[in-house]
Structure 1
């Protein structure tokens, strides 16, 4: 099989490609199986099926390893403007490449370092990161990543404003409450923990102001928190509306160039 054809299969570029669809289904099934196993392993009854679980994990990890090798090998088609080595390195160091690598490499660590088997078990959880790659296989989920990409600067700005408000609130609350509650508001970090739970409207209740000045300040900060948290939500909502509108316009534009009866492209 030609290298370019393998690239087309693993990239899931065409919906009508049966081989590509089968490969996509196999990867998604492996991801789902690993997620189920990660949950099942938290139960004591899982010890009875330890051997079977290991076999299933081994097979899915082999699939992830095989896919990773293919993606590195065909990366020059993904980045045609780069040389083979640079294309491979760019994929390996990309967010997707790192997730693909972490989805299988921790499984091999006990073979490389036998004395650290117990410590390496925690790396099983890393395989769940593979779920972040699901949006690669479905266009509808790609909308999420596209909106985040387009609105990243606005989101970063809103997060920065929230962070500044948290720091200011924590320092003010520490100054107001430290004398009244020296064991609770011990330092600025204690105030930051309170500001985080208040501004993000979580309100754990483990730390709260007792003085009148502190309570008045808490009310003001709580109101500000509701408004601040709504900013990123509004940005994302507007981004989704814009993205869906663009997709709809693109689909309507494409329909104009195809015959509704024969399906052929019009000149």
Structure 2
């Protein structure tokens, strides 16, 4: 019984029609479940939508929990203890609990995390996740450079214009917006030297931001290329080689 459930709830593979329909169904339910958050005031219709969708998502959570041993291919009771602490299981549970009344109204915003359910079944998200996994060292180095640059920029600005910022955290906030070239304009330098520091920070910020963007883009294109090649090989193996077709 559990094996049959697993074949349905697992992420669909090529040719797995039932599992594919189930994936689409859960994605649609997850999207509909966040629609009530688009309205300021609730009504009976929105409450009904939230109630129905949350119980469907909770059932999906239970199905994935009781079949987790099939997913990781380990026959041990400890896998069922480990499942609630896996990243996606935690996200699922935290996003469901507010609608079940197990968390206060202040945690209503956590329902937004149900969007990750849509991303989980998305091929594009799988590609991006693989890119971050494969390029984690390079992206880690870039992150260190970015954090160091933010800290140095904030320190320089805070040291030269202490009256512009209420505290050092506000200087870090300014440096982050300058690095990402967002520039909200709520905090800005007022002296000539401060503006020069801001200009330099913004120019170097473009280069720092471009580095991870280039790494992710290149990795994403590689993932798409590998996926297309794998799909081509699967089709070739299914249809058979020209020699096999000639013999048949």
* Gap runs ≥5 in structure 1: 111-118
Q: Name the counterpart of 1:207.
A: 187
Shift of 1:131: 1.6
Instruction: Provide closer, same or farther for how the CA distance between residues 210 and 12 of structure 1 changes in structure 2, counting only shifts above 3 A.
Output: closer
Total equivalences in the alignment? 245
Deviations 1:193-243 (A, max 9, x none): 221111110112222222222222222111111111111101111111221
Answer yes or no: is the 8 Å Cα contact 1:147–1:239 preserved in 2: yes
Listed as ranges, the matches of 1:71-220 within 5 Å are: 71-83=64-76, 85-109=77-101, 120-178=104-162, 182=163, 184-220=164-200
Answer yes or no: is the 8 Å Cα contact 1:177–1:214 preserved in 2: yes
Q: Name the counterpart of 1:59.
A: 52
Shift of 1:259: 2.2
Deviations 1:154-186 (A, max 9, x none): 2222111111111111111111112xxx2x223
Answer yes or no: is the 8 Å Cα contact 2:12–2:23 preserved in 1: no
* TM-score normalised according to structure 1 size: 0.82
Answer yes or no: is the 8 Å Cα contact 1:194–1:207 preserved in 2: yes
Shift of 1:26: 2.6
**Aligned-pair Cα RMSD in Å:** 2.5
- Larger RCO, structure (CA 8 Å, separation 6 or more): 2
Q: Name the counterpart of 2:240.
A: 259
Q: Distance in 2 between matches of 1:174 and 1:140?
A: 42
Shift of 1:260: 6.5
* Gap runs ≥5 in structure 2: none
